[in-house]
Amino acid sequence: MNLILKPFSFYLSAFASKVYFCTFIKNMSTALSEQEILRRESLQQLRALGINPYPAEEYKVNAFAQDINDNFVRFPDHYKKVTLAGRIMTRRIMGSASFAELQDSTGRMQIYLKRDDICPGEDKTLYNTVFKKLLDIGDYIGVKGFVFLTQTGEISLHVQELVLLSKALKPLPVVKRDEEGNIHDAFTDPELRYRQRYVDLTVNPEYKQIFIKRSKVISSMREYFNKQGWMEVETPILQPVHGGAAARPFNTHHNTLDMPLYLRIANELYLKRLIVAGFDGVYEFGKMFRNEGMDRTHNPEFTSMEIYVAYKDYNWMMAMVEECLEIVARTVTGIPVVQVGANEINFAGPYEKLSMYDSILKYTGIDVSAMDEAALRETCTDLGIEINPSMGKGKLIDEIFSAKVEANLIQPTYITDYPIEMTPLAKKHRTKEGLVERFELFVNGKEIANAYSELNDAIDQRERLEEQLILAGRGDDEAMAMDDDFLRALEYGMPPTSGLGIGIDRLVMLMTNQSTIQEVLFFPQMRPEKKAKTVTIDDFIHVGVPAEWVPVLNKMGINNLEDLKAANPNKVFNDLGGMRKKLKLDITMPSKEVVMAWFA
């Protein structure tokens, strides 16, 4: 049904058109606020004036707010003919002249509008009606003019032409900044910020710096790898076997092939296939998916960088990581030292090295190197670490390390030489029986990198994956699956290789001094949004509310029966009387007894 929206006051007058308003409410998927109704009314009036509120043609800008603010004083002649576009963020209307703030992708710029400048002829509609009455905070406009200094010395754009580029139908949260730069009424609720990132980055533009730095982290790594002659590649996200890591996958099904598939938990096994194929170095930035818990450092969808270089080992990889991360830190911050909370993290090498066993001994005083599974279980119990029957020797050692060691590793530290049970894809240590050539890099108490001297013995690899199948049979849903095609590739021969994986999200957290992974993701995974139940006018009538009073309740913030039941009956009665007087409503005031009955 097509609806002609009328002024909000129309609905709250004598309700001469009750049927119209009831139809309006029933046909809206969600209740509209007064502001949303008024903006829709403005939208219709703009169209009635022949103004397209969503024009299709290109609007060519030739300047940005930050560039003007940074350079106008030095180069005033460069800004005689400026075209700027962005959102209206504030307005100060003063009769025939007004000021406003325009926000583009780089920052805010004050603009000055004079009625006779943007309306040089007899028709003053563009200023008197469109700008003053029909435009709102959040609308996108384009302006042309010249830059000047106001009497107070503020850089401003004197507008000579104005065009509407996009009409906003929802009002932005009003974040106020005083003369000292203090922020009031901030849009700070984390759930709202993460769920409505488009609003967050509009009213809190300082958070854009996190994502600008994120881009620099990735681009600086990519540039470093490319200079070494390593090739960026792409590997499958949908995989028939969930291999390359110990994690629980997301399952799906391919209808045409009638086969199960998994969102990849790692891209390792495909990248190794490319080393078998003869590439000396390959790397990939990509999304991984793990169907596991969510917390301040884990998101089920995350970005990883994995790289594999032929004829190298894990000792070489440690030196490469130190060089690469120092470059990243300098690119992002200008120096190799990064502030993370109360800690100054120095990414300039060399980094400290501790073996897995030595680190546990250092921070617990317990030597677990010779313990069997039973002794490890007893040790976990003594240390108050929760375990379960599915855990094998490697998993038990990992639990001890995670609980007692990780939090102590603040400065970049390599934990090396893991028990063979923990790492099915790494090469056996060349001198230490029962260990593999693996390291993890820990910074500020969290693991951000994992690397091996890669296992290229196809027979040994098959035996270790068979051991993983035994763990899976015991109930370990993170055990690796058997990948026969990968084993076939190894049988064709893979040169000595070192591989590395870096968690990009955690690395960005460090480089931007953020304590939660959600802050460095544009759109982190969220629980389903709790939406207020939308009811029809008939639902209110069913509990005794007269139809003409429903929109008044809506205006009071009572949009459904749950809102009504949660309200204070006496306050609702008093507020109804106040609204009737304030809005000059020519409708009968219900008695207190009638209102009380609505809550029965």
- DSSP label at residue 571: H
- Share in percent of the chain as helix, strand, coil (round to 5): 40, 20, 40
CA–CA gap between residue 70 and residue 526 (Å, rounded)? 39
Pairing mode, strands 301-310 and 337-340: unpaired
Helices 356-364 + 393-404 axis angle, to 10: 50
Q: Give me the tens of pLDDT residue by residue for the chain, a chain 600 residues long.
A: 333 334 444 444 434 333 334 334 444 445 678 899 899 999 999 999 999 999 999 999 999 999 999 999 999 999 999 999 999 999 999 999 999 999 999 999 999 999 999 999 999 999 999 999 999 999 999 999 999 999 999 999 999 999 999 999 999 998 766 667 666 667 899 999 999 999 999 999 999 999 999 999 999 999 999 999 999 999 999 999 988 887 899 999 999 999 999 999 999 999 999 999 999 999 999 999 999 989 998 999 999 999 999 999 999 999 999 999 999 999 999 999 999 999 999 999 899 999 999 999 999 999 999 999 999 999 999 999 999 998 989 899 999 999 999 999 999 999 999 988 888 889 999 999 999 999 999 999 999 999 999 999 999 999 989 988 888 888 777 778 889 999 999 999 999 999 999 999 999 999 999 999 999 999 999 998 877 666 678 889 989 999 899 888 888 888 888 889 899 999 999 999 998 888 888 899 999 999 999 998
Helices 393-404 + 373-382 axis angle, to 10: 30
Pairing mode, strands 337-340 and 343-346: antiparallel
Which whole-number Å values give the CA distances from 109 to 95, 240, 551, in the listed order?
21, 53, 40
Phi-psi map region of 229: left, alpha, beta (phi>0 left; psi -120 to 50 alpha):
left
Is the domain covering 210-351+411-520 a CATH 3.40.50.300 domain? Answer: no
Tell me if the bond preceding 350 is cis, omega within 30° of 0.
yes
CA–CA gap between residue 474 and residue 468 (Å, rounded)? 10
Domain boundaries, the chain: 8-31+534-598, 65-172, 210-351+411-520
Predicted model pTM? 0.83
Please give the full DSSP string across 493-553, using - where no structure is assigned.
Answer: ---SEEEEEEEHHHHHHHHHT-SSGGGG-SS---PPP-PPPP--HHHHHHTT--GGGHHHH
Q: Superfamily for 65-172?
A: Nucleic acid-binding proteins (2.40.50.140)
